[in-house]
Amino acid sequence: MSLYTEDSPVNEKVTQEDVARQAGDSRSVVSYVVNNVPRQVAPETKERVLKAIEELGYRPNKHAQRLMREQGDSVADKQFGLVLTDPSMFRRPYYGNILAGIHRTAHAHNCHIRFIRFFDELRNPVLFNELVHEEEISGLLLMSLDQVIEGEPDRQLIRQIHCARV
């Protein structure tokens, strides 16, 4: 049974309180599930909350989540960037398996890959400053860059990445 019918206004926001009512749980339990916090929630409870989220079409308020994170941990915590040599890495099974493993492991540890870029793209100073910043990411994984380092400009870019201290 959904709290909202097809006749309900489209702009009506579904809240965590609505989800809690639908699931028969507290708003804090809904928050634990939505924010994927380390607190243990019984599998059947989590399933009930996820079902209510789906039935109601609940969408978290990203701005509120960001404010909550800023009160505690940094927004950049558990977010990292991935820098590859070039687009051909996506077509090669060896690297495809590595990338899939990175994704699975990040997901298992509640980490997020914020971006995947290619080494040459980081030469753009505007893009570099937007992406490689301690307020955006807590780390940067550089894959197989030994294959593209050819001269002093490449080594300078690596030094610039290192000095960014993400």
Of 64 and 3, the structure prediction assigns the larger pLDDT to: 64
Count of CB atoms within 10 A of residue 150's CB?
8
pLDDT of residue 4: 43
Q: Rounded to whole angstroms, how far apart are CA atoms 44 and 67? A: 30
List the domain boundaries for the chain: 16-71, 79-163
Q: Is the pLDDT reported for residue 70 higher than 70?
A: no
C-alpha closest to that of 23 among 3, 52, 2: 52
Q: Is the pLDDT reported for residue 129 higher than 80?
A: yes
65 phi-psi bin (left φ>0, alpha ψ -120 to 50, beta other): alpha
Q: Which CATH number fits domain 16-71: 3.90.15.10, 1.10.1060.10, 1.10.260.40, 3.10.300.10?
A: 1.10.260.40
- Measure the CA angle with vertex 29, ends 26 and 78; round to 5°: 150
pLDDT of residue 117: 93
pLDDT of residue 69: 53
pLDDT of residue 68: 56
Q: Is the pLDDT reported for residue 98 higher than 90?
A: yes
Q: What is the mean pLDDT of residues 112-141?
A: 88
Name the average pLDDT for the chain: 82
Give the tokens for residue 70: 């800023």
pLDDT digits (tens, 9 = 90+) for 17-45: 999 999 999 888 888 888 776 667 888 98
